[in-house]
Structure 1
C-alpha cells in the first residue's frame, strides 16, 4: 500500500502499487482479500477511482457497519501493508469515451464515475460525459470537491447546496443532462439497490431508454 488517507469518519482512500498491474478501464473494479493468521479470508469488491494511466490503483472505501473488510481498511490499514487483490474485473459497466453518456452515482457509487471523469478530462472529451453525484451531505460525498470542479451536477438530500434545496435529483434536472448539448446515447447508474432503482426511474422519466442504462449496484442484495 503506497498511501492511506482517511477522509472523515467513514471514508478511506487507498493508493495501491499492484505488481504486474494491467491497465484498467474506467468503471472496472478490484477484489480486495484479507487473510488472517488462521487462514480465514474475507473479500470485497471496490471500484477504481484512478485514471487508467495512473501508475497506482486508487480505491475509495466506505466503512460499513459490521463490514469486515471495510472496517479493517478504514481502522487498521497502514502504508506498507500488503493486500491480496484481483483485477481489474468487469466489462459491462465501463466507459472509454466511445459514446456520449450520463452517469448517476449515489454515495460511494460515485467512485467509478470519478475514474470516468479523470479519463475524460485527460483525453479532452469531458463534454461526452455528464455526471450526477448524489449524497446526503457534501462532507459525506466522496470526491465532492473534485466532482464540483469537474462540472458534475451535485444533488444533496440532507443539506442545501447553494440555491438548490436539499432533495434527490428531479427528472427535469436529469433531462437537461440527457438532452444537452447532444443527446446521451448511454447511461450509467451506480449505488445501493434502492438508489439504483430510483435512478433508473428518473432516467426513464427523463427520456432515457431502459436498454441503454447500465447498472452497477452494491449491498446485501446487489
Structure 2
C-alpha cells in the first residue's frame, strides 16, 4: 500500500548522467517496498513556506530502503533545477509514495514485454528491466530507447553493456533522433513502425507493451506499436510534460 504521508529522504548517492540529468540515490526510513513502474512525489519547501511538488519515477527495482530517481532539467523547473544542480550527498528531501497502480510490471506475469521510452521516460522502464533480470524462467523483454544523441543518453554504461551482450531475454536497442555514433547503421530520426518491427518483440497475443516519455512521444509511439501489431488493450502508457 502506498504511503500517503510525507517522509524524509536523504541523498546518499549522486551520478551525473548527462549535462542536464542526474540520478539521485535516496535512503528513506520505513520505506514501503515499491513495484517496478511506480513513482514518488518530491516536495521542496522554501524558507518562506512556499512548497513545490513534482512526481518522479523510480528507476530501480525494490532494494530495501533505497530508491533511485533520475531527474532531467526541465525548462523553468522549480524542483528539477535544484535536484539536478543543487542537491548533493546529505541533502534531505521530502517524498511521498510509492504511488501508481496502472503503469506497473508484475514479476509473476510470464507474458513477453515490449518497453518503448524516450528521454527521461526511460527511468521507470529501467526499473522494469532491472527487476526482470532477477526473475527465474522469465519471458522475453525488449527495450527500445529513443535518445536525441549519445550526449543525452541516460544509463549509458549499463545500456552499452546490455547492448553488447544482446541477452535474448532482455535485449536493448538505442535509437537516436538527432545525432548518432559514427558506427550506428541507422540514420538519426524519429522512431518508426519499421524500428519496432526490426528491433522489438513479435506482437504475439498477450504481449505487454509499456510506453513512457513526453506527451507527444507517447501519443506517437502508441500509434506506432499498434501499427506494428500490438493489441491496444495490452498497452500501458505514462506521460509527462
TM-score, L = length of structure 2: 0.85
Once the two structures are TM-superposed, the CA of residue 55 in structure 1 deviates from its matched residue by 4.0
Once the two structures are TM-superposed, the CA of residue 124 in structure 1 deviates from its matched residue by 4.3
The residue that corresponds to 1:206 in the other structure is 228
Once the two structures are TM-superposed, the CA of residue 136 in structure 1 deviates from its matched residue by 0.3
Which residue of the other structure, out of 163, 181, 187, is the alignment partner of 2:209? 187
The residue that corresponds to 2:41 in the other structure is 31
Q: SS at the partner of 1:159? A: coil
Contact 2:18 2:154 in 1 (8 A): no
Query: 2:17 and 2:159 mapped to 1: Cα distance?
Result: 16
Deviations 1:65-102 (A, max 9, x none): 20000001111112111100001101110112312110
> Which consecutive unaligned segments of at least 5 residues does structure 1 have?
none
1:1-222 equivalences under 5 Å are: 1-53=11-63, 55-97=65-107, 98=109, 99-124=111-136, 127-150=139-162, 151-161=171-181, 162-176=184-198, 177-179=200-202, 185-219=207-241
Q: List, as ranges, runs of 4+ consecutive aligned residues in structure 1 with deviation greater than 6 Å.
A: none
Deviations 1:167-219 (A, max 9, x none): 22321331242317x66621111000100011001101100121211110001
TM-score, L = length of structure 1: 0.92
Deviates more, 1:164-173 or 1:151-160: 164-173
> Which consecutive unaligned segments of at least 5 residues does structure 2 have?
1-10, 163-170
Once the two structures are TM-superposed, the CA of residue 34 in structure 1 deviates from its matched residue by 0.2
Contact 1:10 1:62 in 2 (8 A): yes
Aligned residues: CA RMSD:
1.7
State how many pairs are aligned: 218
Deviations 1:139-190 (A, max 9, x none): 202113323422311100112342121122321331242317x666211110
Contact 1:100 1:183 in 2 (8 A): no
Task: Name whichever structure is richer in strand by fraction.
Answer: 2
